Every structure is written in C-alpha cells, then in structure tokens.
Structure 1
C-alpha cells in the first residue's frame, strides 16, 4: 500500500513539473523568415515576429523628404512611383504651414540604387555622403521658387552658392545647393529665410539605424 502511495506521489510531481514547463524544451527553434538589407526578421511563433537588437541589425535606416508644398510632394511621389520606388506620404500638422513628408525605406546599402532611380525620375543633384562610421545617406539641399523669381536666384548666387535646377513642377522650380560644412549650411538657411524664399530644407534626412530598429 505504501509503495502505491509513493508511486502516486512521484507521478503527480512529474505531472506538475511538466505542467510548469520544467520538462524538456519543445519550443520551435528560431528561423530567419525574411532578410531586408542587414535587418533580419525572425520568429519562433507563427503569430509573433521579433526583430533582433540594434547590434545585429546594423544598417537599416529610412529617409524622409519634407516638402511644404503638397503639389510638389504629390508630383515627386508620382515620378518615383513610376520608377518603381515606393513612398508613403505623411502630413505633419504640428508645424505651420504643414509639412508633407515622403517616407522612403532606405537600407544604407541601397543608397546608390536610390540615387540612380532619383536621377532616372528627373531629379538631379542627389549626392551620396559617407559619414566617419561608414554610414551612407543621400544629401540634397533644395529650395523652391516661382519661375518668375529669377532675382532670388541671383541673390543666392551673389552669396557664393551655385544653385542647380532639379525639376520643374508647374510654376515652381526645384533648385539644389550643395554645402560642404555646417557653417555653410547655416549661412544658406539664413539667406533663404531672410529673403523669404520658399525653402524645404534637407531633402533627404538620415536617421540613426539603432533608433529605427528599436522603434524610436
């Protein structure tokens, strides 16, 4: 009778241990389901996806194109879409006038391809900038003027900058100016703001990969 009681207690304890998950690990091993640049999307649950930490996903960034003129933003979207470069439009209403941001997924390794697609879409002047840590992004300072405002361009040229026409969109002309230092960029921004030229800032803004991967 005592032996049967011991057997029942041992069996009950074994069932409890298994119920609490202390038995053998029967979980499905993680497998890579998708690779996008150096970003690996992994999953160990059909209903749940996990993203590796920032150290593993070293280079996954995105670029944003801010415009204050929605017609220009729509025009750029259509020209890029025709070249197979997908974008999405986000309206930022917290600033006045509202800004329209074209969100463009851009793994760092693909900036050369993106640069070519921009050129094929009629947007010239996109330049690849390589940072000290090897991170690459596309830098393009632009400003917009109406086609009958040639005197504004003369003022920009007189300040020592060499604007280049990027693309004509209706009565607006998109110009680019390359600046090599932060000091030059600050001077350029002050010049445009002072002269009341419609300026849309840096066309492509690079965001740190770690922040994007961590969801910030």
Structure 2
C-alpha cells in the first residue's frame, strides 16, 4: 500500500514538473517569436537614431554647459548604452531567426534567449537609473540657464546642447508611452485570438 502511494506521488510530481517545464518553454518560445517580429526592427531603428543623436551632441559640445557639466556626459553614456541594447537585440534576432527558426535548435535557442533577457534586465536597471539622473541634471536647470553670455559660467549652457538633451528626454518618454500602448494592444489582440480559437474547437 505504501509502495503504491509512493508511486502515485512520484507520478503526480512528474506531471507537475512536466507542466511547469511546458509552461516555461511556452513562455520562452513566445519571447523568441517576438524577436522575429517587425516591431523589434522598428525599435532598433528608432534606438539607432536616438543613439547617434545623443553621441553627436554629447561629443560635439564638451564643456559647453558649465551650469551642468554632466549633460554632455549624460548624452554620451546614454547613447553608448543604447547601442549595447541594440547589440543585445540583434543577438536575440539572430537567435530567434537562425537557431530557433532555420536550424531548429530550440533548446539551445531558449537557453540563449534566457541569458539575453537577464542581460537586458540588468541593462534596463542601469538605463533607467541613468535616465532618471539625466532628467534631474536637465530639468533642474530649465529656468536657470542662459546661452547668450559664455563668460558667466554659473549660468551658461550652449543652447544647441541643452535643447538636444531636452528633446531626447521628451522623445524617450514618448517612445516609452508608444511602446507600452502597442504592447497592451498586441496582448489584447493575442488574447482575443486565443479565445476565438478555443471557442471554435
């Protein structure tokens, strides 16, 4: 009786483990498939444009904002780290299209996408922290800087540099909002399709 009970527990445990693994693989497969979508390409192109702009203004106007010297540094670091995010996304696309799609190494592709997601998570923490710091450096001087008298180093900031930093901050907020709305709409459409598929069975 005890032996039969133990066998039953093992079977139940195996079913639970199998179900958890199946769900885990389904989620990773969904993530891998996301990296074959056109939305990722759009994100990469937009991020490239912003990164180039940030690096251009940050490197072109060094020491041109004595009221807040960190503005040019913010643009350089923000632009450079965005290129790291672009690189991670390109690796994820190669993983999804080549390993998962063409040569059908699904198990390896899942492991690599998990590593990629962990790296992107660490990057997101850094990116968010640096972005908040940039907001502080830029917005706290909004009503205190002037761009007409460069000899007054207590208040001077080059107009082009400050305007570029402000525009990039606002575009980044806009990008976050558009991405959030697009993600919500995509998930709602996906759930609706799943419900319709279940109802048609």
Scaled by the length of structure 1, the TM-score of the pair is 0.23
| Structure with greater strand percent | 1
| Structure with greater helix percent | 2
Scaled by the length of structure 2, the TM-score of the pair is 0.24
Structure with more relative contact order (C-alpha pairs < 8 Å, separation 6 or more): 2
